[in-house]
Structure 1
Amino acid sequence: MTTSSPARPHRHRFLAVLLALALSFFVVDGHQARAHAQANGAATTPLMGWSSWSFLRNHPTEAAMKAQALAMSTSGLVNAGYKYINLDDFWYLDPQTTVDAYGRWVTDSTPFPDGMANLGSYIHGLGEKFGMYLTPGIPVAAYNQNTPIQGTSFHARDIVSNTSGYEANYNFGSGRMYFIDYTKNPAAAQAFLNSWADELAGYGIDYLKIDGVSPNDGDTQAVADVQHWSAALNQTGRTIHLELSNSLTPANASSWQQYSNGWRIDGDVECYCGTNGSPYPLTDWNNVSGRFSDVVPWIGKGIKGGWNDLDSVEVGNGADDGLTLDERKTQLTLWAIENSNLTLGVDLTNLDSTDLGLLTNPEVSAVDQNGHPARAVDRTTSQQAWYAPNGDGSYTVALFNLSGSAATAAVNWQDIGFTGSAATVHDDWSHTDLGGFASGYSVQLPAHGSTLLKVTPTGSVGSTAMSYDIVNTNSGLNLATSGTSIVQQSADNGLDQEWQLVPLGDGSYKVLNRTSHLQLAAPSSAQGAQLTQEADDSATDTRWRLTANGSGGYTLKSSADGLLADVSGASTSAGAPVIQWPSNGGANQQWTLVPVPDPNVAYRVENLATGGRLDVDNDSTADGATLLQYSDNGRSDQRWTFTKQANGAYTIVNSNSGKLVNIPGPTTAAGTQLIQFSADGNSNSQWTLVDDGPGAIGLKSVYDSQLIDVTNSETAPGTAVIQWTADGGVNQEWSLVP
């Protein structure tokens, strides 16, 4: 068995630029699609457990695995929620030469003399769950021997068409696994995977990691591999968590959601910087801090049943972790606020008592398990605030100091979603109530330090969420109020027809009327019941899920009963009731979001990839001054008003200079840096607001249809704001923050 190098050279960190530009959000006609997670009963919350790779690496043994399982049980980690003991790579013989009678991998009996079923039984006996590992494809040895496929008349060569290309395998290297041709003989291909899944289920596995199953790893049929392995595991009748690795592509997020329970968003967190074969140090700050950028395209992709995986948590062995104590807290804080799997990579038989306290902090673990991913207010600075609404009126806020020296990090309540209210602040790490704060909170943090807070507004609360007209696709009329009832009405530019979509953090929204400040509600579970507006009662009857239909519209589904907002009788008449009805695919159940900026509000225009603000260089008031992104500084040159034009487009006017966002020249050249210029009535200063999903808009030029863009998603203050053709990148998405 090859044991040459513990490092896996196939894995590299992909630049945030490539993620944001080339692989960004899965978009259907401009809308981020939300798929349903795989309904196999696994991963209702993010996984918590341990994996052999970081510490045991290419030398796992039965004895070592049992020792780690025992240590997890006796240390208190199991009681804190950690359940999975996952055996990673290097447990099997070379599939180029050795397979079982049905073409599957063979356990290496030297390190695992009692076999996998015995190991699974031992782990289960401790109240834990057992996980294993493989890479996609069919072994070369199976093809060469033309092994039968168990329970069928088919053979290995019935499902291979290409013997010159190989799936990834990291234990023994390339040349071990052929691609399965799922179209050559579909029944045979699925039967082969079913037989393998049945064997693994017979070992008692509760988790399977498939490595190398990503377009980034050269798997040209990654989605098909995942789909067929998902079916194979599900047909076993056993609940098995399917985890994908590594550096999965955000562009295929809907497939990962549909067919798996977790996906690695990045390369390995390990630094592979130990000497003389030592796994220590396990990681370093650079490998941890890179996740602050790399997670951005994935925020919101994790949903109940399938979660983003930022890779192993290297906290547990004190100085051997490769991180300072503050850096260890920061790693756990970031993983928790992004609802990542918490898979420990440390030696559980040698736990550091301080680290153990971090790992078993119940308030931090609860943030991870809550399933409300956070996003950054502004990533153009090293002192960052990340936040998520918790759905109960409170917010999770993490403050980070990513610089190498002590500094103050701060958050303003307006930036995280609410106004008109003070808030109480609770420190999750120390379990301490810190008191009430009028407009925000700041704290001095050490180098690479962090704090994790629960922020609860007190008193009357207003929302800073963006406003929309919600327009019925069938009738072209607006969602509107009539007393306490909901109807459709002709557009009248009134606030009673404007709605704020207030995120609740789990993918659902409150739909808040601008005039009444009441919320769209389903008053009962009765089919055909007319929708109403009601005060917030924190119940599901005022929570709605918006699902993109692929044609520029959405359905609005009640979280209370699963029925859709529908215009009664598909009426096109003003005043027709808006009711709830089962999904039927009708246009009267489809709604478009039309962003409506308030003409009396000067907004900060915030880039969703970087958090940078649209800014005029050097606070200039001159025609021709260039536009760039800059950190939030509170100045008027970062404030913009939106003035509607006769053609429905807007001019975007700087509050400091009175000048307009303008394409110089004008030119249609992609990459041209935008400027400010005096109003002249020309179309190169006019922009349409394109819905990019709740809380996100594209700013599209009337002149040449290009979008306002931050160059390469770079986070540096001063990065040019340009025009660029639509590419689905998050750096072309903006939010308007009052």
Structure 2
Amino acid sequence: MTLHRFLLPLAALCAGTSLSAQMADPLAPTGRWSAYQAGSAQLPPMGWNSWNAFFTHVDEEKLMGSAQRIRDAGLARKGYRYINIDDGWWIRRRASDGRLMIRTDKFPSARVKGDPSFRPLTDRLHAMGFKAGIYSDLGRNICSQAYADGSEQLPEGSVAEREVGLYGHTDQDIRLFFADWGFDAIKVDGCGIRAYAPDAERVRSGQYRALAPLIDQHSISRSNIPAVKALFAEINQSLARHNPDGDYMLSLCIWGSANVRSWGKDVGNISRTSDDISPDWGRMLTNYDSAARRALYAHPGSWNDPDMLFIGKGDFDANHLIEAKSHFSLWAMMNAPLLIGADLRTTPQPLIDIFGNADIIALNQDQAGNQAVMAFDADGFQILVKTLANGEKAVALFNRGLAPVDAILTADHLKFRADRPIALANLWTGERSSFMRDMKLRVAPRETVVFRARGDRTLADGLYLSEQPGMVNPAADGVVQPEPDPTIYRSIPNWRGTRGIGERPMYAGWGGAMADFTPYNQPLVIAGKTYGSGIGILANSRLEVRNAGFARFAAQVGVDDSALDGDQAVRFFLYGDGRPLASTPPMRRGAPAQAIAADVKGIKLLELVARADGVRGNAVPVSWGDAALLR
């Protein structure tokens, strides 16, 4: 069966829409929240994954040893509940019926009457209070087959028997994993749809069959985004079919390629925003940057995933506790999954203590589901702020560099009143302090200082939308041609070193919606007036906003001064539960901001639309200045 024939019946599945719906006006109000709500990930998943510690050399003893350490160290009580088997568990796909076969020499409990089964292992994990996760790939073949160099535990047998990925077997495998074997989560990689081109050496040698790549990690324009979405749509249908209780978790792992940083939120519970992490400071910065400015693309049920924690090795081992604490703090602030990647059987207690910092974990698991927003960013120093469910703020002061920074934390960073006391609790040292207006502190090289802050809000009777990004979904962000994001740090990957010309911007997302900044990381400015709070997005966009009991919406809107096209007219519309509430006349760059407001009491979903008249060459940034929900 050709790829073309395979994808045609899936086209209508993509993102859960019909062909007619895909052709409909994407700016038309729908009255419904469109970000992913299937599965079970209202909070960022926490747990452990085998890959960083063991690569393909995973076995039952290693897995259960780490699970036992999580339980014995009290980490399970703090939320670590997923125990995930990554690559290396399979030996072949049985030719007679396509059933996947387990390496029973590595997983002896799988030796049961009849076909080998992971059910005894998942039953044991469930009895310990854990959930169990498994690994597969979108293609016929998997990542270790493409990139492992002499690795053990690769699939064996004929060419067909070594095709252990989901391609052509999606429903069969999903049923096996969830209904038969009792798994609760699946990580789906994408090497099988990028690494097996007809001219690849591994294919030309006859080792594997060719599969025309759907993803080109270094070229967005050469990636077949609709086809990739269609494959995930098929997975979602199978997950729903074989998990009638809806208790599952889907992890997308296509490394920030194919513009997934924009649409992953609509397709799975967690979505990788970058290539693999490694235990190097520079690589951690790359992975962190790939998610740090994407707060509007993460929500309860669908989270940005900058990859697993690599605490325990290299720059994050027990000799580098400052770096390890920074790594953990940043992932917590971003609401990233907290998936430990260490061999916990031998992990020193100081690192266990980092994993177990209940105050930092609480920021990650806060019920509001707001990823931190960038409040300051210059010269290798950043301040991130997130609004918590009880109205307090978490603030992280992050020194990326090798010299200490004398920083100033201000009330404005927190959106607190400067004339009232602000109480701080340091979540690593336990120290308490307070200040008014601003506070000076020294941040050591590579240190992240994390506070929980309490004060009087600048906006006393409501919340700015930029304070609640978990309630704001860019259903259409106005980006027509995805572009690589130049703000992501370009590190030296340990798998390539300094071969070639060095890493170049490769993760699409430039021009996406941002909290408190324009899509191109500029301040929000309308006709010369700067707005410290608001949403920046491109014209021809639609934002969905959940209303948690507020009575009124208000914003100052206009074409941002950073727009290159001064003649393009844009109209702004506000809808509530699909019905029109307010609108503006056409506006152009330089026109004063216009107020757009409405009574929204009883309305569950607002939709904010910026529609450009006609089609022109340049994308037009627009600003929803001071956009807020008020009581």
Q: Report the TM-score range of the alignment, normalised by the length of the smaller protein.
A: 0.5 to 0.7
Deviation at 1:204, TM superposition (A): 1.4
2:400 corresponds, among 388, 399, 402, to 402
Distance in 2 separating the partners of 1:250 and 1:300? 19
Distance 1:400 1:179, change over 3 A: closer
Name the structure 1 match of 2:176.
199
Deviation at 1:119, TM superposition (A): 2.0
Deviation at 1:363, TM superposition (A): 1.0
Name the structure 2 match of 1:119.
121
1:84 corresponds, among 82, 85, 104, to 82
Name the structure 1 match of 2:113.
none
Distance in 2 separating the partners of 1:355 and 1:697? 47
Q: Does 1:265 align with 2:277?
A: no
Name the structure 1 match of 2:237.
231
Distance 1:433 1:338, change over 3 A: same
Distance 1:316 1:454, change over 3 A: same
Q: Does 1:589 align with 2:580?
A: yes
> In the TM superposition, what whole-angstrom CA distance separates every residue of 1:580-630 from its partner, at most 9, and x where no partner exists?
98x4x4xx4354479xxxxxxxxxxxxxxxxxxxxxxxxxxxxxxxxxxxx
Name which of structure 1's ranges 444-453 and 419-428 shifts more when overlaid on structure 2. 419-428
Distance 1:57 1:648, change over 3 A: closer
Judge conservation of contact 1:35–1:254 (CA < 8 Å) in 2.
no
Distance in 2 separating the partners of 1:58 and 1:337? 30
Deviation at 1:53, TM superposition (A): 0.4
Judge conservation of contact 1:37–1:261 (CA < 8 Å) in 2.
no
Name which of structure 1's ranges 425-434 and 300-309 shifts more when overlaid on structure 2. 425-434
Distance in 1 separating the partners of 2:250 and 2:288? 25
Distance 1:329 1:557, change over 3 A: closer
Distance 1:335 1:168, change over 3 A: same
Q: Does 1:504 align with 2:502?
A: no
The 3-state SS of whatever aligns with 1:308 is strand
Distance in 1 separating the partners of 2:551 and 2:242? 30
Q: Does 1:439 align with 2:437?
A: yes
Judge conservation of contact 1:557–1:564 (CA < 8 Å) in 2.
no
Distance 1:405 1:453, change over 3 A: same
Q: Does 1:559 align with 2:548?
A: yes
Distance 1:333 1:241, change over 3 A: same
Name the structure 1 match of 2:388.
390
The 3-state SS of whatever aligns with 2:51 is coil
- Gap runs ≥5 in structure 2: 1-24, 111-117, 149-153, 194-214, 218-222, 474-534, 555-573, 597-605, 627-631
Deviation at 1:231, TM superposition (A): 1.3
The 3-state SS of whatever aligns with 1:300 is helix
Deviation at 1:269, TM superposition (A): 0.9
Deviation at 1:211, TM superposition (A): 0.5
1:210 corresponds, among 188, 211, 215, to 188
Name the structure 2 match of 1:495.
none
Name the structure 1 match of 2:619.
726
2:285 corresponds, among 264, 289, 296, to 289
Name the structure 1 match of 2:97.
102
> In the TM superposition, what whole-angstrom CA distance separates every residue of 1:608-662 from its partner, at most 9, and x where no partner exists?
xxxxxxxxxxxxxxxxxxxxxxxxxxxxxxxxxxxxxxx96564xxxxxxxxxxx
Name the structure 1 match of 2:136.
134
Distance in 2 separating the partners of 1:111 and 1:88? 13
Distance 1:343 1:560, change over 3 A: same
The 3-state SS of whatever aligns with 1:293 is helix
Distance in 2 separating the partners of 1:179 and 1:591? 50
Distance 1:555 1:733, change over 3 A: closer
Amino acid at match of 1:365: I
Name the structure 2 match of 1:665.
none
Amino acid at match of 1:69: A
Deviation at 1:416, TM superposition (A): 3.6
Q: Does 1:461 align with 2:458?
A: yes
Name the structure 2 match of 1:46.
44
Distance in 2 separating the partners of 1:413 and 1:50? 37
Deviation at 1:377, TM superposition (A): 2.1
Structure possessing the higher relative contact order (Cα contacts under 8 Å, 6 or more residues apart) = 2
Name the structure 1 match of 2:254.
246
The 3-state SS of whatever aligns with 2:412 is helix
Distance 1:430 1:501, change over 3 A: same
> In the TM superposition, what whole-angstrom CA distance separates every residue of 1:304-333 from its partner, at most 9, and x where no partner exists?
112111111122469773872111111111
Distance in 2 separating the partners of 1:291 and 1:446? 21
Name the structure 1 match of 2:487.
none
2:353 corresponds, among 337, 353, 357, to 357
1:313 corresponds, among 309, 316, 328, to 309
Name the structure 2 match of 1:424.
423
Deviation at 1:420, TM superposition (A): 4.6
Distance in 2 separating the partners of 1:690 and 1:726? 23
Deviation at 1:121, TM superposition (A): 2.2
Distance in 1 separating the partners of 2:587 and 2:237? 49
Judge conservation of contact 1:167–1:179 (CA < 8 Å) in 2.
no
Q: Does 1:222 align with 2:228?
A: yes
Distance 1:356 1:733, change over 3 A: farther
Distance in 2 separating the partners of 1:342 and 1:91? 23
Judge conservation of contact 1:168–1:219 (CA < 8 Å) in 2.
no
Judge conservation of contact 2:326–2:446 (CA < 8 Å) in 1.
yes
Amino acid at match of 1:127: G
The 3-state SS of whatever aligns with 1:333 is helix
What is the identity percentage for the equivalent residue pairs of Structure 1 and Structure 2?
A: 20
Name the structure 2 match of 1:149.
none
Deviation at 1:354, TM superposition (A): 1.3
Which structure has the larger Rg? Answer: 1
Distance 1:427 1:169, change over 3 A: same
Distance 1:101 1:139, change over 3 A: farther
Q: Give the total of aligned pairs.
A: 461
Deviation at 1:408, TM superposition (A): 1.8
Amino acid at match of 1:390: L
1:333 corresponds, among 329, 335, 349, to 329
Deviation at 1:59, TM superposition (A): 0.7
Name the structure 2 match of 1:537.
none
Deviation at 1:104, TM superposition (A): 3.7
The 3-state SS of whatever aligns with 2:440 is strand
TM-score normalized by the length of structure 1: 0.54
Deviation at 1:114, TM superposition (A): 2.9
The 3-state SS of whatever aligns with 1:346 is coil
> In the TM superposition, what whole-angstrom CA distance separates every residue of 1:202-227 from its partner, at most 9, and x where no partner exists?
21111100011784556762211111
Judge conservation of contact 2:264–2:270 (CA < 8 Å) in 1.
yes
- Gap runs ≥5 in structure 1: 1-26, 141-165, 182-188, 271-282, 467-499, 510-545, 566-578, 595-646, 652-685, 707-724
Query: RMSD between aligned alpha carbons?
Result: 4.7
Distance 1:81 1:250, change over 3 A: farther
Distance 1:591 1:390, change over 3 A: farther
Judge conservation of contact 2:318–2:350 (CA < 8 Å) in 1.
no
Distance 1:125 1:317, change over 3 A: farther
The 3-state SS of whatever aligns with 1:354 is helix
Deviation at 1:447, TM superposition (A): 0.8
The 3-state SS of whatever aligns with 2:275 is coil
